[in-house]
Structure formats: C-alpha cells, structure tokens
Amino acid sequence: MRSPNEADDLIVGANGFLGRNLEDYLTARGRRVARIGRADGDLSNWPDVERLFRAAPQVARIFHVATRQRTGASQYGLQGELLAINARIHLNVLEAWRLFQPQAKLVSTGSSCAYPEKDSPLTEADYQTGPLHPSVKGYGLAKQVLAIGAGSYAEQYGLRHLHCILATLYGPHDHHEADRSHFLGAMLHRAVEEKRSGKTEFSVWGYPGAVREALYVEDQIEAMLAADAAFENEILNCAANAPVTVGETAAAILKALDWKAEIVSPPASFTGASYKVLDSSRFLERTGWRPRYGLVEGFARLYRLEYENRS
C-alpha cells in the first residue's frame, strides 16, 4: 500500500486557472495529486523552489502550469517584468525537476504567443522562426525559455518531457480582473454584466475578424493527457484545428445566453495579433482526440457553473 505522502502527479501552479481545473479533473478520477500553489512560496525565488521540491513526494508526472500573466494593453508596459519573473520561474522549475524529480516526466504548457506572427496555421516547425507580437514579446520569450530549456535538460540529463502548446482557454476558476482575465472568459463576463444591466449592445473588444482557437478547459486537459500518452521529448501543438473569429465567438456567447443584442466594438480597444491558429494535425492524427464541447455548449456550461442563480 502507498503511504499518505505518495502521489501520482505534482501540479506546479495549482492556484491558477489551468492548475485548479487540472487538480479538480485528476482528483475526480482517483489520481493522488500533490500541489504547489501561490501561498506555498515564490517560484521565481530559488530557495523557495528548492524547499518545495525537496518536500514534495516522488511522482510520475509534473504538470508545470505556473506563470505570471497579464492581458490586454497592460502587457505593453510590463515586457521586462513578465520576461524576468517567468524566465526565473521556468528555470527554477527545470533545475528542481533535474535535482529532485528526475524520474518524473515534465509536462509543461505553452501558448501560441510564443510563435511568430503568420497568416496561416502554425506548425511546430515555425517555432522560433521570427519575431513575436509586440504585446507579448516578454511573456512569449519566457515561454520559449521553458520549451527549449525542457528539451535541453532532457537531452543532457536523460529526462523526459513534453511541452504542449495550448489553444485559447475558457472555463471555471478564471480571473475577472481587467488585466488578468483570459480573453474568452472576459467576453462572457462582460456579456453577463451587460445583459443583467438591461443593455441591448454587447461590447466586444478588438477586431471582430481576428482569428483564434478556443477550447473549454476540460477539453484542453483531456487533450494534454492524450498528448502525454502518445508523445515525448518534443514541442507539440495541442488543439483542435478549429479556428474561429472574435465575431463568431461573440455570436456563440449571445446564443448561449439567449440574449438578443447587437455586437459592437468600442473604439481604441486592445487588438492583438490578427491571426493566431495552431496546426495540431500531428497530435490529432496520432491520438484521435476530439473536443466534447462546441463554443455554444461550452459557454452555456460555464454560465451554469459560474453565473446561473447568482445575483
């Protein structure tokens, strides 16, 4: 029998949006999960990371989903901060992995913002082939440090890793602050507030024709787990090959809320890259994974979980 201190998985960043959903998903399926969250220490500070990893049980998987993130126009003024803090976090986790959990496979997460701008779907071969969008150059460069760093550690020290590049996510446990909320969650939150206030216009920031990918967070977690079972020691696009425009996303929210409103784009609102879509063909072909929730179904589910019957 296993002792109470043993675990199957270690989640680094367990207090964040993805970390909280991942912990809920794994524990609901009988996995023993050890966690490192925000209150446990500062992951950008090596003594804290060393202490936390020394105390952690030995595990088969480390899910590294910790990051310092800001969204919207606020990112432009924080490029150095986001680079410095996130690069320290990622390098500290890589070193702790090597020293204290070398038997574990490190599954880390990345974002399409670490790819250069391109007007067609991004393949893994496009990684590090051009400059990043100005709004995310610091954050995206730190993600490259993690992705390339994990491969470098695995190669030198005989470790196992997988760096999954994810779609744009939405789901429960998201932030609602203007500079921290994820794009899709912020859209739904704004729609709920405007509908409840009696407005007949839905304010959608940015360019309606901008193209992104969207996944409900539970679908993304299942995609990560499918990828983990099939791939090792590489950077992998991990999405559904289902691009959608901002305008189409807004229309899905209106349908999910059963709200008859006009979609309007406030002038001078933040606009990021006009096209950011992953080509996840390798992942999809090998795993056979497909998402369970379409946009309307996903937004309706999120509304029921976080807003329904609340004043």
CB count within 10 Å of CB 199 equals 14
Taking 80 as the threshold, does the pLDDT of residue 121 lie above it?
A: yes
Give the CATH class of 9-169+215-238. alpha beta
Tokens of 205: 């920031």
Q: For residue 262, report the phi and psi dihedrals to the nearest 5 degrees.
A: -90, 135
Q: How far apart are CA 116 and CA 121, in angstroms?
A: 11
Q: Is the dihedral of CA 259, 305, 23, 105 positive or negative?
A: negative
- The pLDDT assigned to 2 comes to 40
**Mean pLDDT, to the nearest integer, of 26-51?**
97
More confident of the two residues 78 and 141: 141
Taking 70 as the threshold, does the pLDDT of residue 197 lie above it?
A: yes
**Mean pLDDT, to the nearest integer, of 164-173?**
96
Eight-class DSSP state of 46: H
More confident of the two residues 73 and 185: 185
The third-level CATH classification (topology) of the domain covering 171-212+242-278+293-306 is UDP-galactose 4-epimerase; domain 1 (3.90.25)
Q: How far apart are CA 205 and CA 269, in angstroms?
A: 5
Taking 60 as the threshold, does the pLDDT of residue 4 lie above it?
A: no
Q: At what angle do helices 137-157 and 79-100 cross, to 10 degrees?
A: 20
How confident is the prediction for the chain on average, in pLDDT? 92
Q: How far apart are CA 185 and CA 175, in angstroms?
A: 8
More confident of the two residues 296 and 2: 296
Judge whether 64 and 145 are in contact, CB under 8 Å. Answer: no
Q: What is the pLDDT of residues 249-306, one digit of tens each?
A: 999 999 999 999 999 988 766 666 789 999 999 999 999 999 999 999 999 999 999 9
| Percentage of residues of the chain with pLDDT beyond 70 | 91
- The pLDDT assigned to 230 comes to 98
- What are the CA-CA distances from residue 48 to residues 39, 51, 89, 92, 279 (Å)? 11, 5, 11, 10, 38
pTM: 0.93
Q: What is the pLDDT of residues 79-112, one digit of tens each?
A: 889 999 999 999 999 999 999 999 999 999 999 9
Q: So where are the chain's domains? A: 9-169+215-238, 171-212+242-278+293-306
